[in-house]
């Protein structure tokens, strides 16, 4: 049998936790019901497991997005899986389905230590206002501006996530 002091302590703790919302967090609110995301998961560049060498320009095979019912884009993020690269020696372009190119500032929003089977995953933001359409075949191009053979990096894979309202 538990002592009355223990029962009072547990009752007090229960009231305290209930007053704090139970210790849960509402830091990540639920998205509005009309908000949707489209895109695809990280894909290998041309299916090459070590990546496509970026000694001049590497262009990923087109990746399709279909049935994306976004009417107003709010955010666009691109994940790049790169191996042995010096970011300030690269220029990158997102190529939309209508072949319009968007320069991507290679300043990562987020970096993860590894992706796919090799490389570092870097997340970049693209201005939503620069996107012309959502459905169709997307491509990504990376060019090494330092063509020396002693610092070849690899474009392992990429993905895009379009978020907005229907």
26-84 pLDDT tens trace? 344 555 668 888 887 765 544 444 566 666 677 777 888 988 888 899 999 998 888 88
The answer as to whether 146 is a domain residue is yes
The answer as to whether 29 is a domain residue is no
When comparing pLDDT for 39 and 6, which is higher? Answer: 39
**Residue 68 phi, psi dihedral angles, 5° rounding:** -90, 110
The answer as to whether 105 is a domain residue is yes
Give the per-residue pLDDT at 143.
Answer: 86
Number of structural domains, the chain?
1
115-149 pLDDT tens trace? 766 788 888 999 999 999 899 999 998 888 876 66
Take residue 13 and report the two structure tokens written for it: 């703790």
Residue with the two structure tokens 């372009």? 93
Q: Domain residues for 97?
A: 35-165
The answer as to whether 79 is a domain residue is yes
The answer as to whether 10 is a domain residue is no
The answer as to whether 132 is a domain residue is yes
* CATH number where 74 lies: 2.60.120.260
The CA-atom distances, in angstroms, between 129 and each of 19, 76, 99, 122, 135 are: 43, 9, 16, 22, 16
Q: Is the pLDDT of residue 157 over 60?
A: yes
At CB < 8 A and 24+ separation, what contacts does 102-108 make? 102/126, 102/127, 102/130, 102/131, 104/78
């Amino acid at each position: 049998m538990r002592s009355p002091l223990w029962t009072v302590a547990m009752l007090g703790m229960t009231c305290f936790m209930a007053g704090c919302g139970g210790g849960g967090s509402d830091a990540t609110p639920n998205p509005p019901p009309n908000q949707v995301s489209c895109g695809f998961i990280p894909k290998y560049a041309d299916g090459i497991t070590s990546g496509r060498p970026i000694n001049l320009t590497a262009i990923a095979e087109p990746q399709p997005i279909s049935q994306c019912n976004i009417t107003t884009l709010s955010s666009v993020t691109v994940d790049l899986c790169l191996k042995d690269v010096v970011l300030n020696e690269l220029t990158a372009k997102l190529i939309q389905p209508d072949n319009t190119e968007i320069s991507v500032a290679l300043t990562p929003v987020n970096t993860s230590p590894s992706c796919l089977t090799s490389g570092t995953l870097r997340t970049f933001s693209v201005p939503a206002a620069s996107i012309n359409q959502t459905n169709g075949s997307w491509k990504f191009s990376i060019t090494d501006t330092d063509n020396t053979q002693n610092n070849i990096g690899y474009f392992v894979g990429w993905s895009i996530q379009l978020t907005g309202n229907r």
